[in-house]
Amino acid sequence: MTALISDALITVVLAATPDPNFDPNTVTPGVVGFVAIFFVAAATVLLCLDVVRRIRRTTYRAEIKARLDAELAERDNDPNAPRTPGDKPE
C-alpha cells in the first residue's frame, strides 16, 4: 500500500518537473504581479492604521471612564459636595 502511494507521489513530482529548457531567470511576475502585491500592501497598511486608531480610541475611552468614576467616588465620599448641579454645599 505504501509502495503504491510513494510511486504515485514520485509520478506526480516528476510530472510537475519543468522542462530542462526552462530558464527561471527569465520568469517575472510582470505588471499584474506588481499591481496585485501593491494592492495587498496598501490594504495591509490601511488596516494597520485603522486598528491603531481603534485601539487608541478604546484606550482614551477607558481613561475618561476611569477619571469620571474617580470623580464620582470622590463626590460621593465628600459630605459637603452638591448632589445635583443646583444644590449648594451646606
- C-alpha cell read off for 35: 499591481
For residue range 47-72, list pLDDT tens digits in order.
Answer: 999 999 999 999 999 999 999 999 98
Reference 62, options 50, 70, 74, 73; nearest CA is 70
- Every domain of the chain and the residues it spans: 48-76
0.85 surpassed by pTM: no
Q: What is the DSSP letter of 79?
A: T
Q: Kindly state the percentage of the chain with pLDDT values over 70.
A: 76
- C-alpha cell read off for 26: 527569465
Contact (CB, 8 A) for 38 and 31 = no
Start-to-end CA span in the chain (Å): 94
Amino acid at 60: Y
